[in-house]
Amino acid sequence: MATTTDTADTVVAEDGVRRRDFIEIAAVATAGVGGIFTLIPLISQMSMSKDVLADSTTELDISALEPGQSIKAIFRKQPVFVRNLTQAEIDAANAVDVDDLRDAESLADRTLEGHENILVVMGVCTHLGCVPLGAAQGEIKGEFGGYFCPCHGSHYDTAARIRKGPAPTNLEVPEYTFTSDTTIVIG
Ligand code: FES
């Protein structure tokens, strides 16, 4: 249940395949108590009280998200990135020895069973809070093909794990669930 504004364009991927790389959507936030949910446009989220904001969720329709594409949305006033990983991105993440990582997590640790190709992370660098690049069309993804924070040069890999630079930990994976094969509720 999301309002979708598709701004995807066609770009030339590194492997020469033309594909749409990025979809930006205006998510619809929901705030609910006792299972009763009220749909609130994103604009209204900005004026939520702190209590309501803390309980708010973001519902995303990812039915149009193809491998290699990302969605940038808002969850509790902060950016959140959802990427449909390609098989090459999954293989790259799984080829890493987790014990060598600064913040030791496998891709499986950071995704939900049965949906290992869908990576949901907060778009907030764990160093000092800048918004990393890599989710939007044409943005650089850093040396490890995931996300890159331009503020002080943190590089995250395809599982959004910190690999180089000052950030101490991986991009945070928020609480989320799949309510259908193509719908995610974050929060
Ligand atoms: S805030 Fe991202 S590297 Fe410093």
Residues 6+ apart with CB under 8 A from 113: none
Q: What string of DSSP letters covers 23-63?
A: EE-BPEEEEEETTEEEEE-HHHHTT--HHHHHH-EEEEE-T
Residue 147 has pLDDT above 50, yes or no: yes
State whether the beta carbon of 125 lies less than 6 angstroms from ligand 1: yes
The whole-number average pLDDT for the span 103-109 is 98
Tell which residue, 163, 169, 75, 82, has the closest CA to residue 121. Answer: 82
Could you tell me which residue, 56 or 19, shows the higher pLDDT? 56
Residue 2 has pLDDT above 50, yes or no: no
Residue found by looking up tokens 């509790």 in the block: 76
Write down the pLDDT at residue 156: 98
Write down the pLDDT at residue 47: 59
State whether the beta carbon of 127 lies less than 6 angstroms from ligand 1: yes
Q: Mutation test of ligand 1: which of 122, 125, 131 has the most ligand atoms closer than 8 Å to its C-beta?
A: 125
Write down the pLDDT at residue 154: 98
The whole-number average pLDDT for the span 118-138 is 96
Q: Mutation test of ligand 1: which of 127, 147, 169, 171 has the most ligand atoms closer than 8 Å to its C-beta?
A: 127
What is 10-186's CATH topology? Rieske Iron-sulfur Protein (2.102.10)
Residue 17 has pLDDT above 50, yes or no: no
Write down the pLDDT at residue 185: 97
Residue 35 has pLDDT above 80, yes or no: no
45, 77 Cβ separation under 8 angstroms: yes
Residue 21 has pLDDT above 80, yes or no: no
Element (H, E) at 1: none
**DSSP-assigned letter for residue 169:** S
